[in-house]
Chains A and B, each alone.
Chain A
């Protein structure tokens, strides 16, 4: 029987019972939530191939009977930890790649120490990345390497690829990688050169503190943290929701500091002068022109990315020199593009179907 407003009166007792049960579960699970630690993340078996301060190179142990000839080197963004791509079994991008027969390496970052404040863009692009490529080549015995860069890891991969355009990069896959920094409107405003004194900041603090990086991300959607906590409370009876919430929340708040000199270059060359887009970027005196990149490239962008808006990522495919190039826009946001249920059904299979033919 329906009341005038469309309310099904017969369903009310059942609904009340469900809500009472959930309220009880919320109280019990709420205590459990506070008392317990989250799921163990980044646990796919791996070996450390090289550690140099903030730089860590891992090799994940293959699980397929045979692997594709060309290995993959994942380049993580310098602001966050790589375990977003290796959450838990069944929700791990790395595990997915291993099962599909790829040989997977990851360039991941730890917090730069105070004495690493002088690490500059040159160190990342002309030293760390080439060093990791050489280590991958030495470890697997292959010359060709496919590079997969996420967010600012994509920018580093682009810079590397444009400077070392003669190889050995075989394929380039980028996830949500900005190139036109003028279109990152809020970041532009936060770092407005009229008011933001990057020299003063770097000279006074050394490495840029993680709290500052985290707040600049959170300020892009200031109400979302509070809203997500309300959602958590509503769904705390649901173990799967809570597990997922804890994984993503832990990762999102586990922000890394940025080396001071490196941050100075990002602000001045990319945010202020937009040099990558204007084809005037150079690293350590070596021109980094992305039109020099000729290898096959796939760029995956997210429809609702609030960190790297589509306008900031769009010109990449137009400007790159490759003839074999593809941009794919998928549903999701900056993080849900690469991890979680959305990524499992959209990005991961797309990447596999694109890369497998180019990995032999």
Chain B
């Protein structure tokens, strides 16, 4: 292995790595304390609740401004997703129909499934 002890770039990279390890280790120890859990959960609980309330308020405001609310956008996204799902179902059905009718014209139909006959290499199968 090359000696990088005097390479400034290697020294810099090493220093970053060591700082990362050191800080992670320090933070892990600090976060393992019950005090951290208490404070983090107090702050997190308040913040999650406030975010929810702010979201509700914003939704009312948007409705008042005659703009689509988040719920309406989510509803539209859901309808789109539902349309996509139905399209996929139609696609699968079409593939199946094409597979049935295209048995004699295999090149145009859905790819036939390979046989389920593969053996492990140790049992005489090949490994591609």
Contact = CB atoms under 8 A, between A and B. Distances in A.
Interface of A: 5-8, 15, 19, 47-49, 51, 61-62, 64-69, 99-101, 103, 113-114, 140, 142, 185-186, 189-190, 192, 194-197, 200-201, 204-205, 209, 212, 219-224, 226-227, 230-231, 234, 356-357, 359-360
Contacts of B118: 64, 66-69, 101, 360
A195 B24 contact: no
Interface string B30-69: 0111101110111011001101100000000000000000
B92 A48 contact: yes
A209 B54 CA distance: 15
A219 B31 contact: yes
Nearest to B75: A113
A224 B123 contact: no
By secondary structure, the B interface counts as helix
B17 A227 contact: yes
A234 B117 contact: no
B1 interface: no
B40 A190 contact: yes
B27 interface: yes
Contact of A66 (B27, B52, B74, B116): B116
B52 A204 contact: yes
A224 to B, nearest CB: 6
B123 A360 contact: yes
Contacts of A197: 41, 45
A2 to B, nearest CB: 9
Interface string B1-41: 00101110100010011011001100110011110111011
